Chains A and B, each alone.
Chain A
Amino acid sequence: MDHSFPQKVLEHLFSFIDSNKDRNAISLVSKSWYEIERRSRKKIFIGNCYAVSPTTVIKRFPELRSITLKGKPHFADFNLVPDGWGGYVYTWIEAMAVSVPLLEEIRLKRMVVTDESLELIAKSFKNFKVLVFISCDGFSTDGLEAIASNCRNLKELNLQESEVEDLSGDWLCYFPDSYTSLVSLNISCLNNEVNLSALEALLGRCPNLQTLCLNHAVPLDKLPSLLSQCPQLVELGTGVYSTEEMHPDVLSSLITAFSGCKQLKSLSGFWNVLPSYLPALYPICSRLTSLNLSYAIIQSSDIVKLIGQCPNLLRLWVLDYIEDVGLEAVAASCKDLQELRVFPSDPSCLELNNALTERGLVSVSKGCPKLQSVLYFCRQMSNAALSAIAQIRPNLTRFRLCILEPHTPDYLTLQPLDSGFGAIVEHCKDLQRLSLSGLLTDRVFEYIGTHAKKLEMLSVAFAGDSDLGLHYVLSGCENLRKLEIRDCPFGDEALLANAAKLETMRSLWMSSCSVSYGACKLLGQKMPKLNVEVIDESGPPDSRPDSCPVEKLYIYRSIAGPRLDMPGFVWTMGDDSSRKLELDVAGVEAQFRNL
């Protein structure tokens, strides 16, 4: 059948297929399809930078133009992964600089980037267009200078939530006057002031600019003049949203500026909000589809006044200052809402907050028929509320609930929240991502293993009673790709019994659990396609009995073998020594035979 379809026809057909999932499927059909597909694939997504080596990727996909790489485990976001763990992008850049000179896009998440990497990118890829660093670190504004100076065709520079050593705001000046191709700029993570006149000039000469996310150092009175340079903006992140004292002039120029942005659909920023400036947004509220107020310290009444005018909101991120009453207003006004995130304003305070409870989430679930994605921090929850949410919103695909105090039971019945989460997985059949919290026994894992068949990512903390819990998940969740666990009494049994499952997943993280060093070694020895990494800052696990539990464990499948860039507190299990020695000996023996 393959021979009857000329290669060119297949190539043409495949060119319509964009999604990596589909392309992966195509590549499995036959050898010739694999070959044709690999030679035409332009976009690669690598969920774990250690799963495969740069050389392998480049060899297989010679027409590579766009690469996405993820580095550190997700729990690195919460400081559970010590600095120096890894996730360095340099070797990738180095390899691509040599073999993929036409590379156009690099998107990274949780990786360590250095100024050297940035300089290498700047000088190696003549047609470079997109640079996105989400939650990355390791570089400074010096590296940005190199990018600005050299990347003539740059369209996107996005440093979202990265940690940048901010040496000078002048890096922006390095964009030459002839540079006009900017489409998206996100510098919200920078701490210092950027050169504002350079920024204004840049905005003025880039007619295709659609996204601009400023940092908090950009004063509010500068915003109108910046906006007047790019009224075609679709997405704006403000700088600080206040002045020392309220100035009516600033307010009126803001109103004018915002009204001039006819395409503006998405707003974020809002650091240090002075509520009297919020009315400047009223003229554009009806167009807004995305609103991020999650850094805005403002009272519920102010939030409600704003949101009440945003009937087309699809996405809302907000702090718990919104309170239940505010969420009721959301439920009433935002009938198209798809995603809600409510963040804690004071995460370390454990006092009960009666203003933002489970009731807010229930209201939004009831009032917003298109709600799919939820991230909700609160201090109390009940099984009744969770059941209600599950039954009325079976279309949920992402449900992350964080009850601030670990082990909090149903506040009405004092029972574990097993049945509530059980209802979620039972009714929400397309659930892809779930985060658990509160008092939970092994039973919740039984429900998850039984029902959560589409679940791809599960986050667990302070839950479960025994290995049975882990076993239910590993044996039941067919589509599980990422599992991250902290502070649960899960040990060796379930892990070892489900070792094969681990090869079907991207990764497993376990910290402060009860997995012994001996089990890790065994797993590492028996499962060559897994990298079993033990992270232990209290010293080499070899110096303690095998039965000692390891601090942290990160297991991921890889065809690249154990990595070579581990710091002193990370050990790969079942690697080198014995096997390597065997190979060396075999090699020497072979040589002798040839003599």
Chain B
Amino acid sequence: MEVVVGMKKEKMEFDETELRLGIGSTKASEEVVRKRGFSETENHDDDDDENTTMDLMLNLSSKEASGEVDPNDKIKNLQKEKTLLPDPAKPPTKTQVVGWPPVRSYRKNMLAMQKSSTNFGDESEKNNAISFVKVSMDGAPYLRKVDLKMYKSYSQLSDSLGKMFSSFTIGNCESQGMKDFMNESKLMDLLNNSDYVPTYEDKDGDWMLVGDVPWEMFVESCKRLRIMKGKEAIGIAPRAMEKCKNRR
């Protein structure tokens, strides 16, 4: 590859510390990266519900891939796939890339808070308000945070939560069980299992079961999430039902 030759000329003084992986590794990594797609652009198409984290990424890229590609164009295609930018002729869509543009959450939240309270700007600006909620899982040593506006459905949220907490729960199992994390059903068991129940605290301060109300309503009213052990969630179900009845 021309790139490698060019670089060799320039890196002569680093011969001592030059480290190599071996022939063919570059190509392999390119291949895999293509397949991997752009994991941080959470472009939530209607992927299969059963996807594990790895499957999700593979499926995503196979949809985006434009058939056979000349190896020389691999990198350019890689860039295109990664950005998932629309055709300039189409109106700009709001691609939600994590951490881009580089504006601190503190700043985003402050602006969003003002906009929603003063009704400054149109409805679409209100909808852009960031919706970070804390997520805790009983037994997990640390909290996570998710931006609910990044998702369009409960299944997307639960995929993401599964991914987030899988590293902890897998650590809990025997280390040999690492291969199991590739098993999609084990991951979904995590959340569908009667052992763990996702619940949330709503604007009124009540704890509800996740999934009871339409998605948009959930996003508006959810203040924080807690993935509880099943036994503790027993008291929640009936109340949730009542609340829904009262709302409708």
Contact = CB atoms under 8 A, between A and B. Distances in A.
Contact of A497 (B18, B106, B171): B18
Contact of B79 (A351, A407, A467, A499): A407
B182 interface: yes
B11 A497 contact: yes
A331 interface: no
A579 to B, nearest CB: 17
B114 A272 contact: yes
Given A471-B11, A496-B18, A538-B54, A377 B99 contact: no
A170 B18 CA distance: 60
Interface string B14-37: 101111110001101111110010
B110 A499 contact: no
Contact of B7 (A297, A343, A461, A493): A493
B185 to A, nearest CB: 15
A538 B121 CA distance: 38
A62 interface: no
Interface in B23-55: 25-26, 28-33, 36, 38-40, 53-54
A499 B21 contact: no
Nearest to B169: A568
Given A514-B33, A538-B54, A551 B104 contact: no
Interface stretch (A47-55, A357-365, A519-527): A519-527
Contact of B3 (A343, A344, A467): A467
B82 interface: yes
A348 B94 contact: yes
Determine which residue in A501, A546, A568 has the highest number of CB atoms from chain B within 10 A of its CB, and name it: A568
Interface stretch (B142-150, B215-223, B230-238): B142-150
B14 A497 contact: yes
A493 B141 contact: no
Interface string A453-470: 000000101100111100
Given A462-B83, A547-B32, A346 B21 contact: no
Given A161-B104, A350-B94, A539 B18 contact: no
Q: Is the interface of A mostly helix, strand, loop or mixed?
A: loop
Interface stretch (A29-37, A79-87, A124-132): A79-87
Given A407-B83, A516-B25, A487 B40 contact: yes
Interface residues of B, number: 81
A167 interface: no
Interface stretch (B62-70, B160-168, B206-214): B160-168
A489 B104 contact: no
Given A402-B101, A487-B40, A543 B179 contact: yes
Contacts of B166: 539
A538 B94 contact: no
Contacts of B143: 83-84
Closest 10 CB pairs of A and B: A84-B142, A78-B99, A350-B92, A547-B28, A496-B19, A568-B167, A538-B53, A500-B17, A569-B167, A516-B29
Interface of A: 75, 77-80, 82-84, 135, 161, 163, 189, 216, 271-272, 294-295, 297, 343-351, 377, 402, 404-407, 435, 459, 461-462, 465-468, 471, 475, 486-487, 489, 491-494, 496-501, 511-512, 514, 516, 518-519, 522-523, 526, 537-540, 542-549, 551, 567-569
